[in-house]
Amino acid sequence: MRPDDCSRAFAAEPLDWPAVRELLRPLAPSELGRRALQELLPRTSHEAEQALERAREMQSLSAEAEPPLAGGSDPLPGLRLAQKYRRTLDGEELVGVARLLRLVEDLGFWMAGRRAHLPTCAALWAGLPDLAPLRTLLDQRLDRRGAVVDDATPALARLRAAMAELTRELDLVLRDLAHRSDLRTAFADGHVGQVHVRGGRRVLAVRQRHAGQVPGIVHDRSQSGETIYVEPREVVERQNRLAECEADAAREVNRILTELTRFVLDKREAIELYAERLGELELAVLSARFGRQCQGRPARLPGAEGAPDQGMLLRAWRHPLLLAEQDKGALEAVTPIDLRLGGDFDLLVVTGPNTGGKTLALKGAGLAALMTNLGFALPCSEGTCVPLYAGIVADIGDEQEIQQNLSTFSSHLKRIREGLERADGNTLVLLDELGGGTDPTEGAALGEAILEELSLRGVPTIASTHLGQLKEFAFRFERAENAHVEFDLETLAPRYTLVIGAPGESRALAIARRLGFPPEIVDRADGRLVKTDGDTERLMTEMRDVKVDAERLRGEAEQRLVELEQRETELASDRERVRLREGQVEAEAQRGLEERVDRARTWLERARALLPQIPSARRKEVAEVLDGLAEALGDALLTERRQAFLDRLKKGEFVWLPKFKKRCQVTRVYKARRELDVKLGKHELTVGFDDVTFYESL
């Protein structure tokens, strides 16, 4: 599926996703993450579940504990162009590849030490091909700026050495000429002793009228014409040899870059996999940053612990674009929206004044569904649950399809028809101002028929309308429910609070009175309204009141459940902190013990060195005492915890070196020799098992 088709399947444009994406863009750690965000398409259910779990894991870390993502680059655009146009990558592009490979390699070590706490993020590094040989080759051939190093090949080393020697000889000859006493008057004022470069050749600045004193090739002249730049004949041959060496070196450099490009393109699929996995990690970090910024979190999925078995439940949802306006001071506050769909009803009809609150509720539900599918945190409270829909149908807005010569109403019908063709129980349908744009009676009849079809199919649907006839739909269909956005008659503005269980009133006459319409006109309009039967109206009012009360009690009960879950989570976190603290205390005690044992061993070895000075009659007895002491010191170290630590030692783990009082990362383990290599700062050293202990941090 093409990106534009995929975006249409999830109504990305009508739901303001492009604008929200730009809002998220600055939160990406690097250009690679920004490209991953730009190219991100709706995911499969499994991919979305994994992305959400990575986002949760990243948000469980503090901002200071984020993975070290600095120093990477995004080489994929260059690789794509090189592959498409069969061109050679330049040094800077090749170094970008090396930086990417090095970052992924370093993050692998970082993940290895946190696999227990970040299992889904660490799984990104599973099955990655080994590109260390390619990274090593690039590091050997290029410096950090992308220039080919002198010893990249023996041929280049010879050429660069010859160039350096010829350059040194040229400079010596030119300086000697420039300082000859018989030529001093020939050189231009301010240029005596200076060597210039023109056209890649070293030259001297000579007065025009003394040109004959310095025979050679003229390469340039000043604007005034009084100074000419001469390549003395004494250096022409050397400069020719230097030019030949430079040309040969340039050809060798181009050959090296071409060869490196071929090696890189041969591994293009693996490099793209590296970039894809790193991009996924950056998206998780982006989500965590957004979650902290908006005090939000990734939504739970239906059926997860503490979540409903099915349906959408938004708690205190705030639209990201409105939050951005609030941050800029353009809005005083953003009113949170609670919304429920699924469970005991699949279809929600939102009615009331045509003031914008209904559209905001629809867009909020759709954007929450899309962002959940993409794996991002939502600006919402704990307890929010969003299904992973297979698609979203959204008929929102009044844009006319002028190119197809369609009216507003026709364009609405076209989008609804296309949506009905693919709508099923796993598709979220959002219909804004259903039945509008045409005769109210016919519009209401058509709208009711559409809602009935969606209800019979079990399609999760939210529809807004200001047509009174559609309010009765939810009373006649078991799986449908009414809702309205609260409206302030004093300010004539929506309060943006969605109330489920009761239809809204259009308030047209009340608004007219509030705006100062002539009373006789409003009264005349009121007299012409078709009045409903009193018993029917009373019954509907009672049903509405009961539903609103039930919804309020339901919300309070859900809030209490969320609070209980949060308390349980806090208690579990406290227990985990206590457990980690116990482990840390034990580790500190073990380190202290090992440091004291190490000092005792030092004194023990000194005592052994004194054995020859002890009388032979007592020497054997003292040696047995020292052997027993050495055995006791060895037993003092091998607690069960330490033995388990030694058994699990592997590359990527972190250990503590008491001798240096440093935390180091293991790069290799030699279990047969009871030794390991560790990275201490910029250096690597080999230490024995007895020289390290475990390291744990909170």
Same domain, 368 and 511: yes
CATH number for the domain spanning 207: value is: 1.10.1420.10
Distance CA 670, CA 688 (A): 9
Instruction: Report pLDDT for 487.
Output: 72
Same domain, 433 and 456: yes
Domain finish residue from 253, 286, 303: 253
Instruction: Report pLDDT for 467.
Output: 79
Same domain, 359 and 498: yes
**Which range is least confidently modeled, 47-51, 54-58, 349-353, 489-493?**
489-493
Q: What's the structural domain count of the chain?
A: 4
Tokens of 403: 């190119």
Does 554 reside within a domain? no
Average pLDDT over residues 594-621: 77
Tokens of 564: 């209980």
pLDDT classification of 532: cutoffs 50, 70, 90: low
Per residue in 141-153, pLDDT tens? Answer: 999 999 999 999 9
- Alpha-helical regions (H) of 426-469: 440-457
Q: Would strands 216-221 and 347-351 be described as parallel, antiparallel, or unpaired?
A: unpaired
Average pLDDT over residues 165-177: 87
Domain finish residue from 530, 554, 586: 530
Written as one string, the DSSP assignment of 628-677 is: HHHHHHHHHH--HHHHHHHHT--TT-EEEETTTTEEEEEEEEETTTTEEE
521: helix, strand or coil: helix
Written as one string, the DSSP assignment of 124-182 is: GGTT----HHHHHHHHHHB-TTSPBPGGGSHHHHHHHHHHHHHHHHHHHHHHHHHT-GG
pLDDT above 70: residue 416: yes
Nearest to 373 by CA among 13, 40, 43: 43
CATH number for the domain spanning 412: value is: 3.40.50.300
- Which letter does DSSP use for residue 297 in this model? B
Same domain, 440 and 344: yes
Per residue in 80-107, pLDDT tens? Answer: 999 989 999 999 999 999 999 999 998 9
The total number of residues written for the chain in this structure: 698
CATH number for the domain spanning 669: value is: 2.30.30.30
* Cα→Cα distances 440→467, 523, 546, 608, Å: 7, 22, 30, 105
Does 287 reside within a domain? yes
Does 545 reside within a domain? no
Nearest to 421 by CA among 450, 400, 445: 450
224: helix, strand or coil: coil
Same domain, 525 and 653: no
Instruction: Report pLDDT for 697.
Output: 42
pLDDT above 50: residue 687: yes
- Phi and psi at 657, nearest 5°, equal -105, 100
pLDDT above 90: residue 496: no
Calculate what percentage of the chain has a pLDDT beyond 90.
Answer: 40
Same domain, 395 and 486: yes
Tokens of 249: 């070196």
Same domain, 471 and 521: yes
Instruction: Report pLDDT for 550.
Output: 61
Q: Would strands 675-680 and 662-670 be described as parallel, antiparallel, or unpaired?
A: antiparallel
Tokens of 273: 């996999």
Does 35 reside within a domain? yes
pLDDT above 60: residue 486: yes
- Which letter does DSSP use for residue 500 in this model? E
Same domain, 421 and 505: yes
pLDDT above 70: residue 521: yes
Does 321 reside within a domain? yes
Average pLDDT over residues 47-60: 96
Calculate what percentage of the chain has a pLDDT beyond 70.
Answer: 82
* Cα→Cα distances 265→79, 257, 342, Å: 7, 12, 50
Mean pLDDT across the chain, nearest whole number? 83
Average pLDDT over residues 17-24: 96
Residue with tokens 């989008």: 415
pLDDT classification of 413: cutoffs 50, 70, 90: confident
Same domain, 393 and 515: yes
Tokens of 302: 């239906």
Does 186 reside within a domain? yes
pTM: 0.76
* E strand or H helix at 28: none
pLDDT above 60: residue 404: no
Per residue in 61-71, pLDDT tens? Answer: 988 889 989 87
pLDDT above 50: residue 311: yes
Residue with tokens 């469980």: 60
Per-residue burial over 68-96, b if 16 or more Cβ lie within 10 Å, else e, is: ebeebbbbbebbeebeeeeebbebebbbb
Same domain, 198 and 321: no
Does 230 reside within a domain? yes
The neighbouring-strand residues paired with 669 are 676
Instruction: Report pLDDT for 535.
Output: 47
| Tally of CB atoms within 10 A around 258 | 13
| Residue scoring higher pLDDT (144 or 491) | 144
**Which range is least confidently modeled, 313-317, 337-341, 568-572?**
568-572
Per residue in 576-594, pLDDT tens? Answer: 666 656 655 666 666 666 6
| Residue scoring higher pLDDT (402 or 348) | 348
Instruction: Report pLDDT for 424.
Output: 93
Same domain, 429 and 519: yes
Distance CA 370, CA 387 (A): 10
Q: Which residues contact 135 (CB under 8 A, 6 or more apart)?
A: 98, 101, 102, 105
Average pLDDT over residues 466-470: 79
Average pLDDT over residues 405-429: 83
C-alpha 295: how far from chain center: 17
* E strand or H helix at 561: helix 534-609
Does 249 reside within a domain? yes
pLDDT classification of 214: cutoffs 50, 70, 90: confident
Distance CA 269, CA 267 (A): 6
Could you list the residue range(s) of the whole structural domain that residue 689 is in? Answer: 640-698
* E strand or H helix at 687: strand 683-688
Same domain, 413 and 480: yes
Domain finish residue from 507, 530, 553: 530
